[in-house]
Each structure stands twice: as C-alpha cells, then as structure tokens.
Homo-oligomer: A and B are copies of this chain.
Amino acid sequence: MGPKTLMYPMPAVLVGSSVGGKPNYMVAAWCSIACMVPPMVSVALNKARHTLKGIYENKAFSVNIPSTGQVVEADYCGITAGASVDKSKVFESFYGKLRTAPMARECPVSLECKLFNTMDCGSHVLVVGEIVETYVEREALAGNLPDIKKVDPLIYSDGRYYRVGEYVADAFSAGKAYKKRR
C-alpha cells in the first residue's frame, strides 16, 4: 500500500499547554506511554502547532483523556487552532506542582508532564515528558486503578470516534491455551 501511518486503536487525547500565559488544548491521536521507570509519555506534534510553543516555553505540558461525553469539546479543540482561537474556556483548567501545565477538570484522567526530551522526525516532533503526577476522577476508579470502561475514552480512527467495546480475554493468560496446544 506504500508507507502509511496506520495504528489500531489510537487514543484521542487533549494536550494541554500554557501559551503566552493562557491555557490551550489540542487533540492528538499519536500519543503513547514511553517509559515505565521513570513514567513517561510521548506525543507526536506537527512542528507548526501553537501547543509546541507553550511546551518549549514552560518545559511542561499535560495529557488529558476525554470521555465520550466530552466528544464535542474535544473535537472542537481539534478543528480550531490555538493561534487564532482562544480555547482557554473550553475546559475548566486546574494546575498541579509544575504550575504551568494546565489540565482539563472535565477529563477523567490527566497526566502532568515535565518535558524530558524531543526527537525531530520530519514534519513532526516527538515530545517526551516525564509524568510527575496523575489525576483520576473518583468515578473512573475500580480499586486503585482506573477502569477503561469507566473512563470510557474516545478511540480515533480515520476521521471517526469510537468507544471501547466488549471484553475479549485476560492478558498474560489467554496465551496459555497456545502453550498447551504445542
């Protein structure tokens, strides 16, 4: 098919940054965990992004996971550019220990990140941040960790949003059936 940027599933996260002292949020699907110790997150950002200015300025940003109930607000942050539209009131922003990484109170999960490093890949910069704090809405928890069905995150794929569907199998367990077959 030629080289294509295919990945299934991808999240739809809101990257929060403070640009010129104002909170700003953009939607990103190219976001993932980058390291366990210390905990880190990576997000690929187009070099033209307003968000990137804020990240370089403050060496801080946030990754917020919206729920399907925030699809209108999240998508609004995807179809508008922070350079021309003030998105500071789309979410109620709160701040943590870094003080310059705005987080969206409406989102069930927020990661507060300190810029660790960047990698220039071409059209995009891979921004890697150390997660200094995690904020989870009480209703999204099942015991000590969030439950993905309660978080009810958006899945982004080819111009559409989907929700997480049914349980398939237990990890680190389903594969035992293969072992026995051999």
Contact = CB atoms under 8 A, between A and B. Distances in A.
Interface of A: 1-13, 29-42, 44, 46, 63, 65, 68, 71-80, 90, 109, 111, 116-117, 119, 121-124, 126, 128, 130-136, 145-149, 151, 153-179
Nearest to A163: B165
A3 B145 contact: no
A8 B151 contact: yes
Given A119-B117, A160-B170, A167-B162, A178 B72 contact: yes
A126 to B, nearest CB: 5
Given A1-B135, A78-B175, A166 B165 contact: yes
Contact of A168 (B9, B32, B154): B154
Contact of A171 (B7, B34, B75, B130): B75
B155 A9 contact: yes
Contacts of A29: 33
A80 B153 CA distance: 30
Given A72-B178, A174-B72, A3 B34 contact: no
A8 B67 CA distance: 10
